[in-house]
Amino acid sequence: MTAPHEPASRGWTGAVRRRAVAALPPDKLLPDTQPAYMASWIYVFGVLTLSSLVVVLATGGVLALKGPAWWHVSDAGKYVNSLHLWSVELFMFFMVIHLWGKFFMAAWRGRRALTWITGVVCFLTSIGTAFTGYLVQQNFDSQWIAGQAKDGLNSVGIGAFFNVLDFGQMLMWHIVLLPFVLGLLTAWHILLVRLRGIVPPIGAADPAHGSPAASAPLPAEGEAP
């Protein structure tokens, strides 16, 4: 139902807004309650991963502001580079724990397969982003990693287009293309989590109907997307 004072609701914008609000009303997008079964430390690793990503992007942003050579000649730059490095280490650590946690929860159940897939693609994209970061350090590590990595990439034809020995190309991938893709994937992943809700325990039955499934999982449960 469209209010008379909202003429835009008849256009494309209104249609998009109606669909968006219907799919993710404000109380679902930013809930102030959560299912009582969410009572484990494993749930913390999702928000820790996201927090680490924010620190990675912020510290990387400072390095980008000052240019790629700054951290080699400045103590402050060296510290910001260290912040960037350790936030990446934490980000990857938290993400791997989050991934294993979601695996053991079979978190793809109940039409959540796309949430799982976007999470895995986020993980793979993060590996690529971190890898290009190591390539653009402009030090001995970069030289050696580039020389070693080119063989793998060349062996499957990727190296002809994605040249790890080309600093300029790798810098653009590291600070523009891959963070952009990772940002979009992360936003999509989080929206899917909010859209579908947090997956209930394996074997849990609908409390409204009740069934022995709470203690005896259905054969197909935990398997279907």
Partner 1 sequence: MTRRRRERAAVPDPAAFPTRSYDLVKEFTIALVVVALLTAALAAVFSSPDDRPVTLASWSRADGADFTATAAAELGGTSGTAEYGPPYNHTPGAAQKLGPLGLQSAAGVRIPIDTAEDFVLRPLADAPQPPVVRVALAAWAAAPAARQQAWTKAYSDALAKAPGGDPAKVTGGGFGPVPVLVARLLDMARSGALDGQLQAEGKFYETDYTRPLLFLSDGSYLETLARAQHLGGDQWGMMNETGDYPGQAWLWLYTFWYQIEPFKSSGNADALIWGLMALLSLGLMLLPFIPGLRSIPRWTRVHRLIWRSYHRTADQPEGRDNSPG
- Closest CB to partner 1 among 116 and 178? 116
In the region spanning residues 149 to 208, those forming contacts with partner 1, defined by CB under 8 A, are 149, 151-161, 163, 165-169, 171, 197-202, 204-208
Based on the number of CB atoms within 10 Å of its own CB, is 52 exposed (0-12), middle (13-18) or buried (19 or more)? buried
- Interface pick for partner 1 out of 57, 97, 120, 181 (rule CB under 8 A): 120
CB 202 within 8 A of CB 221: yes
Our finding on whether 22 is near partner 1 (CB under 8 A) is no
Helix (H, G, I), strand (E, B) or coil at 109: coil
Report the alpha-carbon distance of residue 3 to residue 121 in Å, rounded: 41
- Closest CB to partner 1 among 15 and 37? 37
Angle at 139 between CA 134 and CA 144, to 5 degrees: 65
Closest contact distance (angstroms) between CB of 110 and partner 1 is 3
Stretch that binds partner 1, among 4-12, 14-22, 129-137, 177-185 (CB under 8 A): 129-137
Closest contact distance (angstroms) between CB of 1 and partner 1 is 23
CA distances from 32 to 26, 28, 38, 197 (A): 10, 9, 13, 13
In the region spanning residues 37 to 96, those forming contacts with partner 1, defined by CB under 8 A, are 37-40, 42, 44, 47-48, 50-52, 54-55, 59, 71-72, 78-79, 81-83, 85-87, 89-90, 92, 96
- Closest CB to partner 1 among 116 and 179? 116
Report the alpha-carbon distance of residue 67 to residue 116 in Å, rounded: 36
- Interface pick for partner 1 out of 24, 64, 97, 106 (rule CB under 8 A): 106
DSSP string, 68-102: TTHHHH-HHHHHHHHHHHHHHHHHHHHHHHHHHHH
- Closest CB to partner 1 among 11 and 35? 35
